[in-house]
Structure 1
């Protein structure tokens, strides 16, 4: 049986506890044995090297050096990591090693909650099959991203809230490698209710299973 660890905490505005419960149900439905922890201390546990998947939900949190080191080594050695929105893309701002794993870091969401479009760029990828471009209402994440990411979906900024980024095409969903580990990230999912959007939920579910091999 595949085993997954969800570690939740950080900024409460992203509803990390509620989202952790939803993801736990998703993963258990896919046959995972799921462990849930509420402290970054879990990342320092040597047993994480035996997992198939880690899901961090830790917006704006801090991680200790040894915790980050053990997490990075686990992923390098083949443990998958799957994350979404600020829970993964805006966690541990001071830890560049963690940002190197994820492949990006949030820097802005001009206009806050707005309507925008998610454009599928690789419709033939297993993670995106059957999913077409779709409208979305949430924070439109502007991120600094790793050019080695394999981008699966993007969004285009219109400049209404920051004129100088008009026309910028920004990655929304990507997958990548970190050592032997598979890394999946989706910028969608500001609050728990967004998991009710079929495309968002499906993309995350597929991404998590892909990362876990």
Structure 2
């Protein structure tokens, strides 16, 4: 039986939410998922939300109703997977600490805006990043407030070039975590849909979403999204 995924898109248009959501939809469908795709947070109010094996928010700088958020966090605590990228999961609902507690972080700055920086793989034996070497990247370098319980898979190091005093700060870029019975994956890469053209970025997101899905093992992640 096919796994079920829900993708909800919306919020700030600068993050190309609809285009990015369509890319994620195609990605999951080619991995055998039955995908429900729609706009807005009302999708999180579905009484059957916990039946989805994977939930992917593609929403930036938006708001969410209390009942919608409670239903979403409940679904993940009960075993639905949660995965996403950049501001479309890491800056979805700035006024909701319960959401940030679930995701493991919140965007706070990107000094210099679009810049060149390096992504360093810190857990090369993990199937989400296995076989991927450190790589150069051009995008917003996300400075985030992060949960110390995250299992960090990749990092980036800031310099003082764009904001004095943060030089040498090592910041998580990719992590995974548990939230109750649910698995949570996040990557800060992916400012716009165009960045899915970067092979390393796209493969990390694909593997991370497969890992987060309920019932998905590490062997399936490596097999279905081998690079």
TM class by smaller structure:
over 0.9
C-alpha distance after superposition, 1:9-29 (max 9, x if no partner): 000000000001101010000
SS in 2 for 1:42: helix
- Alignment pair present for 1:57 and 2:58: yes
Gaps of 5+ in 1: none
RMSD: 0.4
In structure 1, the partner of 2:128 is 127
Structure 1 counterpart of 2:71: 70
Alpha-carbon distance between aligned partners in 2 of 1:17 and 1:73, rounded to the nearest angstrom: 26
SS of aligned partner of 2:186: strand
Shift of 1:39: 1.4
- 2:64 is the alignment partner of 1:102: no
Partner residue, 2:49: 48
Secondary structure of the 2:130 match is coil
Cα deviation, 1:34-71, whole Å, max 9, x if unaligned, reads: 00010101101111110100000110010010000000
Aligned to 1:88: 89
Aligned partners of 2:84, 2:26: CA distance in 1, in Å?
A: 16
What is the CA–CA distance in structure 2 between the aligned matches of 1:19 and 1:37, rounded to whole Å?
12
For residue 208 of structure 1, give the secondary structure of its aligned residue in structure 2: helix
**CA-CA distance at 1:210 after TM superposition:** 0.3
Runs of 4+ off more than 2 Å: none
**Counterpart Cα distance in 2 of 1:20 and 1:42:** 14
5+ residue gaps, structure 2, are: 217-227
Deviations 1:55-91 (A, max 9, x none): 0011001001000000000000000000100000001
Structure 2 Cα separation of the partners of residues 95 and 42 of structure 1? 17
Aligned to 1:179: 180
Q: Distance in 1 between matches of 2:117 and 2:201?
A: 14
Counterpart of 2:25 in structure 1 is: 24
Give the Cα–Cα distance (whole angstroms) in 1 for the partners of residues 128 and 4 of structure 2: 20
Query: What is the number of equivalent residue pairs in this alignment?
Result: 213
Instruction: For residue 106 of structure 1, report the CA deviation from its aligned partner.
Output: 0.2
Please state if 1:211 is matched with 2:212.
yes
| Structure 2 partner of 1:194 | 195
Match of 2:6 in 1: 5
| Separation (CA, whole Å) in 1 of partners of 2:157 and 2:185 | 21
**Aligned mates of 1:114, 1:39 — CA distance in 2:** 30
**In the alignment, what sits opposite 1:144?**
145
Alignment of 1:156-167 (within 5 A): 156-167=157-168
